[in-house]
């Protein structure tokens, strides 16, 4: 709120520049848009009208055309029926008239007395030249069909010809009325004969032959008369025909007269020809009316909208100055206008409120600014405080880290510093034991060696932890026979267990798996030792079992057990239960820590189940893919190469005179000649005096003045190479347990030995150096098959 508000009107009106230009309709646009809605409305109405007109028209057309067709058919039938009735009437009148004529006494008289017929018969017959307005030709004949008189129609188109007379002559003998339909000159005629029967004679005495054009009997112009013998004319396409049988007097019934009325199949096109344009005109007029009407209605209805639009436009251009929209009527548009007004009211209210607030805000902001300044100062102080706290915390952490590092460093340094004297003690004790031989003090040397051994183990365990923490141990996976490991352990620990009064047994198994044999054995061994350590009676059982996808190696004991609260911590370094006095006999508390680290390194899981005073069960879970078919048992594994030191020259470089002397003594005791130097330069000088190059170089890792054994070895090798000698077997001896040192040493590629080393290891080195012989380069990585006496040797390499 304190920043500049771009939408805030400076004087209560919205500045035009604040509105996007496209949102403001120009006057020209307004002119264009004005009425567009109405036009659209009109167009939509028009389209709807067209659609409705088409729909209604089509429906009407379909319905009415069907209706029309039905009505048409009915009309045709009615017409046909009417025409048929008319024709029937005509035929009936005709036949009846002629029959009556035949009965007429004038004609009868004429049969007897034709004399004077011109005076009475001919005029009489002549009055019958039309019967029911139908032109008819009548001939009055005698019994043989010879004409006596006619009705005066013998000269026109309708005349009775010789053929007709012949037909009559053939008909008379039957003595009955006869009728036929003849076809002459393209016209059909009804030809009929009525016999003049005289009650006093046996056969007709005369006949009336009459002839009528069939067409004249049909009053309907489209109708025609059909008779039995006549094939109906083929019907033209799009025409329908209705045939009505005629009910006629008996004398004509043999003709099978039918009236046939032909009519177009659909109502006449004449009707359509004026209907369609008329409909079209009406439709066009209706659509025009719809358009104009809806346009007018639309423009009327959108008038308020246009006003609103103009109002909005004026507000957009001139700003809001209290304009109001006119509200007309009570429809959606008026609701819109009311809503618009309400919006304007709201805007006005907002403006008023803003103006009011503006003043308040100035005050508030001023106060706020003061407060903010105060708060900022306070926050500054707090921040400084926090920073100080953080720095303190960091410092505390650094102190803690330093403490921890110091601990580690101390531990490493302590162990290194311990290793140097222990190394010399070991070497000296070994040399002493060799020299004492069967001297009575030799038993003391044995005790010293036992103490030294315990000390070495402690240092090895610390070294192992360090190596594992340094990540320098990488598993060497191969096929391992678990049964062999079990057997070996059982062999090793059975006696120890028996000495303690407990039983140790392993369950034989033939399982083989892919694993690092040394590391795996170390894990199991540590667990077995742990069990042995905490079990005073009962027994220990080692076995394995297959689980789902895992192999479980389990060590049961009937020992003191582990209270639940300790379960989590038993795998920590130096943690021992029930050993507050740190009894050495109970170990160092590093075994399970090593187990834990090794298991994690190998991807195994270790867990424990225990009940205090009842016993514990440690389980090592190995994922099943590690299993493999039984492999050839590495027979050589157990093979012990007894060191057979020959005669060689060993160069010992160590700045610690005790260690240098101890090593020199031991090497010489083993029959080698030792050259001792305290630094690389000393070693090079000594070498120059030597006619023979050394077969073995043993260099302490840490030499004087920050030099390393690696540099010394390198310098020696370079010097020997210059003299044309092959490189000897080089070993770095280190007492460092700091992980980074170990890693550095191992990265050199030389063989590393960790202090303290035993005499046996020295003997092995001598042996290896001789064996490497001329191919010493290849012997830089001797196989670790010569496992050391001590457990730590497992971790080498």
Contact positions vs another protein (CB under 8 A): 105-106, 108-109, 111-116, 120, 142-144, 146, 148, 198-202, 205-206
Q: Cα–Cα distances in Å, from 224 out to 77, 83, 200, 211, 236? A: 14, 9, 42, 17, 15
Alpha helices (H) in 501-613, listed in sequence order: 517-534, 591-602
Q: What angle (nearest 5°) sits at the alpha carbon of residue 570, between those of residues 568 and 572?
A: 95
Comparing CB distances to another protein, the nearer of 108 and 336 is: 108
In whole angstroms, the minimum distance from the beta carbon of 204 to another protein comes to 10
Comparing CB distances to another protein, the nearer of 23 and 112 is: 112
Which residue carries 């005791």 as its tokens? 669
Comparing CB distances to another protein, the nearer of 116 and 280 is: 116
Comparing CB distances to another protein, the nearer of 117 and 188 is: 117
In whole angstroms, the minimum distance from the beta carbon of 103 to another protein comes to 8
Per-residue H/E/C for 543-568: EEEECCCEEEEEEEECCCCCCHHHCC
In whole angstroms, the minimum distance from the beta carbon of 139 to another protein comes to 14
In whole angstroms, the minimum distance from the beta carbon of 262 to another protein comes to 46
Closest by CA to 650, choosing from 675, 687, 680, is 675
Cis omega before residue 192 (within 30°)? no
Burial 658-667 (b: 16+ CB within 10 A, else e): ebbbbbbbbb
Closest by CA to 463, choosing from 710, 746, 738, is 738
Comparing CB distances to another protein, the nearer of 121 and 653 is: 121
Helices 442-470 & 739-747 angle (0-180, nearest 10):
90
Which residue carries 């700045």 as its tokens? 655
Comparing CB distances to another protein, the nearer of 142 and 744 is: 142
Query: What whole-number distance in Å separates Cα of residue 644 and Cα of residue 459?
Result: 28
Dihedral angle sign, alpha carbons of residues 622, 627, 633, 636: negative
In whole angstroms, the minimum distance from the beta carbon of 140 to another protein comes to 11
Q: Cα–Cα distances in Å, from 43 out to 56, 306, 421? A: 19, 18, 111
Comparing CB distances to another protein, the nearer of 108 and 297 is: 108
Comparing CB distances to another protein, the nearer of 124 and 618 is: 124
In whole angstroms, the minimum distance from the beta carbon of 199 to another protein comes to 7
For strand 539-546 and strand 503-506, is the pairing parallel, antiparallel, or unpaired? parallel
Comparing CB distances to another protein, the nearer of 206 and 298 is: 206
The radius of gyration of the chain from alpha carbons, rounded to an integer in Å, stands at: 70
In whole angstroms, the minimum distance from the beta carbon of 222 to another protein comes to 45
In whole angstroms, the minimum distance from the beta carbon of 206 to another protein comes to 7
Comparing CB distances to another protein, the nearer of 202 and 581 is: 202
DSSP string, 339-371: HHHHHHHHHHHHHHHHHHHHHHHHHHHHHHHHH
**Which strand (E) or helix (H) includes residue 759?**
helix 759-772
How far apart are the two ends of the chain, measured CA to CA in Å?
A: 72
Per-residue DSSP letter, 231: P
Quick check: 222 and 263 in contact, CB under 8 A? yes
316 contacts: CB under 8 Å, gap ≥ 6: 14, 16, 19, 23, 24
Comparing CB distances to another protein, the nearer of 171 and 459 is: 171
What are 147's strand-pairing partners?
141
In whole angstroms, the minimum distance from the beta carbon of 122 to another protein comes to 15
Structure tokens at 400: 């803690």
Query: What whole-number distance in Å separates Cα of residue 688 and Cα of residue 697?
Result: 15
In whole angstroms, the minimum distance from the beta carbon of 130 to another protein comes to 24
Quick check: 304 and 38 in contact, CB under 8 A? no
In whole angstroms, the minimum distance from the beta carbon of 81 to another protein comes to 39
Quick check: 482 and 509 in contact, CB under 8 A? yes
Query: What whole-number distance in Å separates Cα of residue 686 and Cα of residue 678?
Result: 11
Neighbours of 396 (CB within 10 A): 10
Query: What whole-number distance in Å separates Cα of residue 663 and Cα of residue 81?
Result: 150
Structure tokens at 635: 């027979």
345 contacts: CB under 8 Å, gap ≥ 6: none
In whole angstroms, the minimum distance from the beta carbon of 180 to another protein comes to 24
Query: What whole-number distance in Å separates Cα of residue 603 and Cα of residue 480?
Result: 16
Comparing CB distances to another protein, the nearer of 105 and 133 is: 105
Comparing CB distances to another protein, the nearer of 99 and 539 is: 99
SS3 515: strand
In whole angstroms, the minimum distance from the beta carbon of 137 to another protein comes to 21
In whole angstroms, the minimum distance from the beta carbon of 164 to another protein comes to 19
Comparing CB distances to another protein, the nearer of 160 and 560 is: 160
Closest by CA to 686, choosing from 695, 674, 698, 669, is 674
Q: Cα–Cα distances in Å, from 332 out to 127, 300, 399? A: 89, 14, 79
In whole angstroms, the minimum distance from the beta carbon of 245 to another protein comes to 36
Comparing CB distances to another protein, the nearer of 109 and 266 is: 109
Cis omega before residue 92 (within 30°)? no
Torsion of CA 147, 151, 154, 158, to 10 degrees: -120
In whole angstroms, the minimum distance from the beta carbon of 149 to another protein comes to 12
Comparing CB distances to another protein, the nearer of 113 and 777 is: 113
In whole angstroms, the minimum distance from the beta carbon of 249 to another protein comes to 22
In whole angstroms, the minimum distance from the beta carbon of 123 to another protein comes to 14
Comparing CB distances to another protein, the nearer of 144 and 401 is: 144
Comparing CB distances to another protein, the nearer of 77 and 142 is: 142
Closest by CA to 302, choosing from 40, 56, 44, is 40
């Amino acid at each position: 709120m304190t920043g500049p508000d771009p939408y805030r009107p400076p004087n209560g009106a919205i500045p035009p520049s604040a509105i996007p230009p496209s949102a403001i309709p120009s006057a020209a646009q307004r002119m264009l848009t004005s009425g567009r809605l109405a036009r659209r409305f009109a167009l939509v109405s028009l389209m709807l009208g067209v659609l409705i007109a088409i729909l209604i028209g089509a429906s009407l057309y379909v319905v009415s055309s069907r209706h029309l067709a039905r009505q048409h058919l009915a009309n045709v039938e009615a017409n046909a029926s009417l025409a048929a009735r008319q024709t029937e009437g005509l035929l009936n009148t005709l036949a009846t008239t002629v029959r009556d004529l035949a009965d007429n006494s004038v004609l009868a008289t004429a049969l007897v007395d034709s004399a004077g017929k011109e005076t009475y018969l001919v005029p009489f017959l002549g009055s019958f030249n039309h019967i029911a307005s139908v032109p008819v030709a009548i001939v009055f004949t005698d019994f043989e069909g010879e004409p006596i008189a006619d009705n005066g129609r013998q000269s026109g188109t309708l005349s009775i010809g010789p053929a007709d007379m012949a037909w009559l002559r053939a008909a008379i003998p039957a003595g009955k009325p006869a009728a036929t339909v003849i076809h002459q000159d393209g016209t059909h005629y009804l030809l009929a004969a009525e016999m003049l029967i005289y009650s006093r004679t046996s056969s007709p005495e005369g006949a009336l032959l009459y002839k009528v054009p069939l067409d004249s009997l049909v009053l309907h112009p489209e109708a025609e008369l059909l008779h039995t013998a006549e094939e109906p004319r083929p019907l033209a396409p799009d025409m329908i025909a209705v045939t009505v049988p005629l009910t006629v007097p008996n004398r004509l019934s043999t003709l099978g007269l039918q009236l046939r009325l032909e009519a177009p199949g659909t109502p006449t096109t004449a009707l359509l020809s004026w209907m369609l344009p008329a409909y079209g005109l009406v439709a066009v007029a209706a659509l025009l009316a719809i358009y104009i009407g809806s346009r007018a209605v639309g423009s009327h209805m959108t008038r308020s909208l246009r006003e609103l639009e103009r109002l909005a436009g004026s507000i957009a251009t001139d700003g809001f100055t209290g304009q109001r929209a006119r509200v007309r009527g009570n429809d959606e548009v008026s609701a819109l206008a009311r809503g618009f007004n309400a919006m304007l009211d709201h805007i006005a209210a907002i403006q008023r409120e803003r103006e009011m607030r503006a003043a308040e805000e100035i005050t508030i902001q001023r106060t706020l600014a003061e407060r903010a300044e105060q708060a900022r100062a306070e926050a500054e102080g707090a921040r400084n405080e926090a920073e100080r706290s953080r720095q303190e915390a960091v410092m505390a952490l650094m102190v803690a880290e330093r403490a921890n590092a110091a601990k580690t460093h101390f531990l490493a340094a302590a162990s290194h510093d311990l290793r140097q004297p222990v190394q010399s003690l070991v070497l000296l004790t070994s040399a002493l034991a060799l020299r004492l031989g069967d001297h009575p003090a030799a038993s003391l040397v044995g005790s010293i060696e036992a103490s030294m051994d315990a000390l070495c183990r402690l240092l090895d365990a610390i070294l192992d932890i360090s190596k594992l923490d340094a990540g320098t141990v990488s598993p060497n996976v191969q096929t391992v026979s678990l049964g062999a490991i079990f057997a070996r352990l059982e062999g090793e620990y059975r006696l120890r267990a028996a000495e303690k009064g407990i039983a140790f047994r392993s369950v034989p198994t033939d399982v083989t798996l892919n694993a690092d044999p040394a590391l795996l054995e170390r894990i199991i061994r540590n667990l077995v030792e742990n069990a042995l350590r905490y079990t005073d009676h009962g027994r220990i059982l080692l076995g394995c079992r297959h689980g789902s996808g895992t192999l479980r190696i389990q060590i049961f004991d009937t020992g003191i057990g582990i209270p639940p609260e300790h379960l989590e911590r038993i795998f920590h370094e130096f943690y021992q239960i029930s050993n507050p006095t740190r009894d050495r006999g109970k170990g160092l508390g590093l075994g399970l820590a090593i187990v834990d680290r090794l298991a994690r390194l190998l991807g195994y899981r270790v867990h424990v189940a225990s009940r205090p005073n009842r016993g514990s069960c440690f389980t090592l879970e190995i994922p099943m893919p590690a299993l493999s078919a039984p492999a050839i048992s590495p027979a050589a594994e157990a093979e012990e190469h007894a060191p057979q030191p020959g005669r060689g020259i060993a160069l010992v470089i160590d700045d610690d005179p005790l260690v240098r002397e101890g090593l020199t003594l031991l090497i010489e005791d083993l029959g080698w000649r030792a050259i001792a130097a305290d630094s690389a330069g000393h070693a090079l000088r000594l070498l120059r005096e030597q006619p023979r190059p050394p077969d073995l170089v043993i260099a302490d890792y840490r030499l004087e003045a920050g030099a390393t054994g690696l540099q010394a070895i390198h310098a020696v090798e370079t010097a020997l190479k210059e003299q044309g000698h092959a490189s000897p077997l080089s070993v770095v001896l280190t007492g460092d347990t700091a992980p980074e040192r170990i890693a550095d040493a191992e990265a050199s590629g030389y063989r590393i030995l960790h202090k303290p080393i035993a005499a046996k290891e020295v003997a092995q080195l001598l042996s290896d150096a001789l064996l490497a012989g001329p191919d010493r380069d290849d012997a830089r990585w001797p196989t670790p098959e010569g496992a050391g006496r001590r457990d730590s040797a497992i971790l080498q390499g």
